[in-house]
Amino acid sequence: MGRVSNEIEDEVLPSDTSAAQLNDESYEGSTSVVLKKGPWTSTEDDILVDYVNKHGEGNWNAVQKHTGLLRCGKSCRLRWANHLRPNLKKGAFTAEEERFIAELHAKMGNKWARMAAHLPGRTDNEIKNYWNTRIKRRQRAGLPLYPPEMCLQDFQENQRNQSNGGLNGGNKMHLDLLQKNSYGIHGAIFDSTKDNQGILPYAPKFSDVSVCGNMLKGLDSSSQYCSVMPPASPKNKRLRESTIPTFHGSNDTKKNGLYPLCKNRDNNYDKISQSFGMQALLDPGPSLHNSMCYSHSPSNGNPSTSKPTFEAVKLELPSLQYPELHLGRWGTSPPPPLLESVDDFFQSHTPISTLESDCSSPQNSGLLDALLYQAKTLSSSRNHCSDKSSNSSTATPGDRGDNSALNVYETEWEDYADPVSPFGATSILNECPDLRGSENSLDEQLSLQTFTGNIPKLEFVDKVWTPDNENQTLSFLNINRPDLLFASDWNDLGFGHGKNQAITTDTTTTLLGEDFAADHKHMTSGTSQSSQVWGFGSCATAANNMHALCHLSDLG
DNA sequence: AAGAGACTCAACCGCTGATTC
DNA sequence: AGAATCAGCGGTTGAGTCTCT
């Protein structure tokens, strides 16, 4: 845009640059050739296009020699790649593209070129500009950079990693990165917490639990952005003494699939709580630390003393910022229940993801427990008979083995799946038509999703995005929604339609309150397809749900 | 209407890895 | 093996445009 001024003065391309031009500061180069800088003119474009048409791409330094174009090879390549090459898609990103970019960024970080490779017609520069703009915008708005669902996914991966034996190589890398990045992260995380202290009764008081890698990264190199976008308003200055622990993923996910939130029965809620900044209040013990990185010096030994690392490190990897996302909702939640009870809840129930094959009996009493157990039982029997729908989001690792497409992508994933990326290449093929056709911007939709329970599902990242496959790419994963036991999944279980659904909804309302029920109701209003999957509408919602369930469990 | 600030985007810069000599 | 060159990537800059007050 802009820079039209050059258009006039350069209408004639100076293959025979005058001496006057040599002194022009817009020209630079060696003693022999003075290369022009600044905006390209249409004439230059024509020359370049003509050259590329004749000689093909590459050998950019030869352009100047052969055409007299006073541009360096770099500039030519850039011009061609970003503006002149055919099939470039100009114009604003569509909502679908925006979502896809978010997903890609979540997985890749600031790998613009890679991202561009998945968006035909889009350039890395374009994507980069878009993303940076988005970051700024969301930062100003105090919004998270990523949809909360992504955070959950990362958390789930982390859960699996922990259950699989602690830190693996990827996690180790995580730690390294984390330590390097702890400063920026600290600020970021803390910002989000303090900002919500007023409304978040269980705002984390733990300190020094630095967010791990993927959550922290991805924002940008200069750490000017944080995983949780703090409102730009000065009045929102925040403390710097605490952080919200978060989880990090690993590439294990791409092997294990998804939905592990409840898969590991070991203190799942503890870990969730950790992720939401609750854990430390209750359990400062080492369990927390399995997945948490500490920014303070190990020699310090004082977990309450945050010692940000000031080493300047470029953060590239994705940053998942969920804690802040819906703190408003958190704020509306009752004070946290006894987390132990939540642990009990999870421990007493077969992980949702394994309902199909494992119907444990409730170990806890309580209405919801009973309901959940009943649902599980029915689900198990039903699923065994129905041979799992093709788009089941609860594919097990074994299922994945049957998915050749998945395997293909999985292989390619290895190339760039960052071990510290928040998301592995989890691939659950579920469509969520709810978002399709929406013309809302991604930001808007993400906000919406927060309350509708739609979880943007990370698909095979290594496929090229097209409108045709977008519905697959943007599948949604709802694997960890205890609240949906009352709704969508009951549909799936044969409970949810008509009267039964009304009953469960009413029950939810009664037991969990209008707010929760409204959420639940909203979420269940989706299509049957979307109701086949489980998920958190938002981390906060999930937390609320768990709190509610915990309450119920205790009440029961 | 005007000014300020935000936004957008093209282009440049520096760095890195691959390739060639 | 090491230097030179090339291609590409990601970060940054800056000017035009837009929006808000």
Per-residue pLDDT of chain A (556 residues; tens, 9 = 90+): 333 334 333 433 333 333 333 333 344 444 456 788 888 988 888 888 888 888 888 888 888 888 888 888 888 888 898 888 888 888 888 888 888 888 888 888 888 888 888 888 888 888 888 888 877 777 777 777 776 666 676 667 667 766 664 434 333 333 333 333 333 333 333 333 333 332 222 333 333 333 333 333 333 333 333 344 444 333 333 322 233 233 333 333 333 332 222 333 333 333 333 333 333 333 333 333 333 333 333 333 333 333 333 333 333 444 333 333 333 333 333 333 333 333 333 333 333 333 333 333 333 333 334 334 444 444 444 444 343 333 333 333 333 333 333 333 333 444 434 333 333 333 322 333 333 333 444 444 444 443 333 333 333 344 555 555 544 443 333 333 333 333 333 333 333 333 333 333 333 333 333 333 333 333 333 333 333 322 333 333 333 443 433 343 443 3
Distance A447 CA to C8 C1' (A): 36
Amino acid at A318: P
Q: CB–CB of A142/A196 below 8 Å?
A: no
The residue whose CA lies nearest the C1' of nucleotide C9 is: A113
Q: Residue A500: CB partners within 8 Å, gap ≥ 6?
A: A490
Highest CATH level, class, for A5-84: mainly alpha
Give residue A100's pLDDT: 83
Give residue A52's pLDDT: 86
Q: Give the whole-angstrom CA distance, residue A429 versus residue A332.
A: 33
Phi, psi of A27 (to 5 degrees): -115, 145
**How far from each other are the two terminal CA atoms of chain A, in whole angstroms?**
65
Distance of CA A450 to CAs A95, A193, A218, A325, A540, Å? 16, 19, 21, 8, 9
Q: Give the whole-angstrom CA distance, residue A411 versus residue A315.
A: 26
Distance A248 CA to C18 C1' (A): 39
Give residue A157's pLDDT: 66
Give residue A37's pLDDT: 85
Distance A234 CA to B2 C1' (A): 27
Q: Give the whole-angstrom CA distance, residue A423 versus residue A425.
A: 6
Q: How far is CA A77 from the centre of its chain?
A: 32
Q: Is the CB of A83 under 7 A from strand B?
A: yes
Q: What residue segments make up the domains of chain A, in order of their start?
A: 5-84, 134-333, 344-555
Distance A504 CA to B8 C1' (A): 49
Closest CA to A148 of A446, A488, A480, A521: A446
Q: CB–CB of A67/A33 below 8 Å?
A: no
Residue A128, CA: closest nucleotide via C1'? C10
The angle, 0 to 180 degrees and rounded to 10, between the axes of the packed helices A539-555 and A148-163 is 60
Give residue A151's pLDDT: 66
Q: Is the CB of A75 under 7 A from strand B?
A: yes
Residue A45, CA: closest nucleotide via C1'? B10
Distance A71 CA to B10 C1' (A): 15
Give residue A112's pLDDT: 87
Closest CA to A539 of A228, A194, A195: A228
Closest CA to A418 of A257, A116, A177: A177
Q: Is the CB of A129 under 7 A from strand B?
A: yes
Distance A91 CA to B6 C1' (A): 20
